Amino acid sequence: MAHESTVLEIMEVLKVADDKIIGEIMASKGIWSEGQSTRTNSLKSLKTLADLRKIERCNGFFRTLDCKSDYKDHAKLLTKALAEILKLNFPVKIYREITIPEKGLRSDAICLITKDNHGLCFVLEVIHNETQEYFKQKLTTWKTWNEATQYLSKLFGYKIPCFSVITAGQRMFDVLTLDDLLEEVRK
């Protein structure tokens, strides 16, 4: 099989996923055809990578060796959201579940999408069981952090003049959702 390196690159971004998600991303890239073929081929590649000890095979999912997720509801929602970003087939940099100790933040993902020599930077928060108060605390921390753009610029290696905080899962407050953002990016 010739596609294990691509599957491994996807897994390194997602950290944890099942064969269906990997197959959908590979199909969006035109590597495999839609349908059962994508799932069958992705499962073969994932099993091969697990046999090579590049990733870990778990009960119904796979994860990178540095990931300890059990792939429960929140992790599945985050993986699905990140997969939708990858399916855009634009250059992206994604940092999943990144902790910023000096601010007491653990964001679900921090992303940079580039298209036509422009970039779009955003913090993605998956709203599943989070309370409004908890999300508002995260949102307020990002919005009031004076050095946030400097931190993001250093993280991505590009000057980040501004960023957004967006949600996936449930809409909360008047925050842009991932679906809204993806619709705009596709235009």
Structural domain boundaries, residue 51: 4-71
Same-domain check for residues 55 and 112: no
CATH number of the domain where residue 54 is located: 1.10.10
Q: Residue 36 pLDDT more than 90?
A: no
Confidence (pLDDT) at 184: 87
What pLDDT band is residue 1 in, cutting at 50, 70 and 90? low
The answer as to whether 100 is a domain residue is: yes
Over range 23-47, report the average pLDDT: 89
pLDDT score of 28 more than 90: yes
Is residue 78 assigned to a domain? no
Q: Identify whether residues 91 and 181 lie together within a single domain.
A: yes
Question: Across the chain, what does the average pLDDT equal?
Answer: 93
DSSP per residue, the chain = ---HHHHHHHHHHHSEE-HHHHHHHHHHTTSS-TTHHHHHHHHHHHHHHHHTTSEEE-SS-EEETT------HHHHHHHHHHHHHHTT-S-EEEEEEEEEGGGTEEEEEEEEEEETTEEEEEEEEEESS--HHHHHHHHHHHHH-TTHHHHHHHHHTS-----EEEEEES--TTPPBHHHHHHHHH-
Query: Rounded CA gap, 39 and 99, in Å?
Result: 32
C-beta of residue 26 within 8 angstroms of C-beta of residue 6: yes
List, for residues 73-90, the tens digit of each pLDDT value.
Answer: 999 999 999 999 999 999
Shared domain check, 36 and 10: yes
Residue at 76 is within a domain: no
* pLDDT per position as a tens digit, 145-184: 999 999 999 999 999 999 999 999 888 888 999 999 999 8
Whole-number pLDDT of residue 121: 97
77 lies in a domain?
no
Which of 15, 40, 71 corresponds to the end of one domain?
71
- Looking at 71, 94, 129, the residue that finishes a domain is 71
